[in-house]
Amino acid sequence: MNLLTKLKVSEIFYSLQGEGARIGTPTIFIRLQGCKAKHACFKAGIKCDTEFESGKEYTIEQILSWLELNAPQCKEITWTGGEPTDQLTDEMVQIFKDKGFFQAIETSGLNPVPVGIDFICVSPKVAEHVIAKNFPKGVHELRYVRHKGQDIPKPSIRADHYWISPHSDGFDINSENLKHCINLCIENGIWKLSLQNHKLWNIL
């Protein structure tokens, strides 16, 4: 592994985390291209509202240069996708760790995450037995998307935070899904409501 190793990247941008336990945190999002779970999502009727097909290749060196040029004040990265674990390796994470970056990841649970990741958010899009196999020690947060009529999630692993997020209509909140998720949280007493606040704030 060297600095000329390439990653397929959809976009890199500096913004605030809009969801979950790290809400409001300034972070550099590195959205990796592609997602091997997309056929499973399609079959399950999950509408993916993330654009991760386009993009270009960056070497690790080019990503480090982007960070230095565009957000030198920020030492936090959020790896997202698509499915970041399809490409990200232990060695890549170590390079950013050596440069002093805190690294969070947002994953569907399809694969284990690389060693060295500091904060793991799983938004499950694969079967629970796959998640149980990949995360035997649990994760920092679980975020399940729910629409009207769906039951409270029954996760197979433990987490520090359990979130339910209403399925949105693209950039808009679906009020029926929101009401349903609020009721689920109140009835259950453990799960918390997570909205995609970056959409409300009108930021990326």
- Please say which residue, 35 or 92, places its beta carbon nearer to ligand SF4: 35
Among 96, 150, 163, 90, residue whose Cα is nearest residue 124 = 163
- The pair phi, psi for residue 15, each rounded to 5°, is -160, -160
- Please say which residue, 40 or 173, places its beta carbon nearer to ligand SF4: 40
* Distance of closest approach, residue 144 Cβ to ligand SF4, in angstroms: 12
Gap between the Cα atoms of 172 and 65, Å rounded: 35
- Please say which residue, 50 or 183, places its beta carbon nearer to ligand SF4: 50
CB contact at 8 A, 92 and 5: yes
* Distance of closest approach, residue 171 Cβ to ligand SF4, in angstroms: 16
Residues within the interface to ligand SF4 (CB under 6 A) = 35, 37-38, 41, 46, 48, 50, 81-83, 108, 125
* Distance of closest approach, residue 10 Cβ to ligand SF4, in angstroms: 10
Q: What is the CA radius of gyration of the chain?
A: 17
* Distance of closest approach, residue 50 Cβ to ligand SF4, in angstroms: 5
- Please say which residue, 95 or 146, places its beta carbon nearer to ligand SF4: 146
DSSP notation for 8-47: EEEEEEEEE--SGGGTT-EEEEEEES--TTHHHHHHTT--
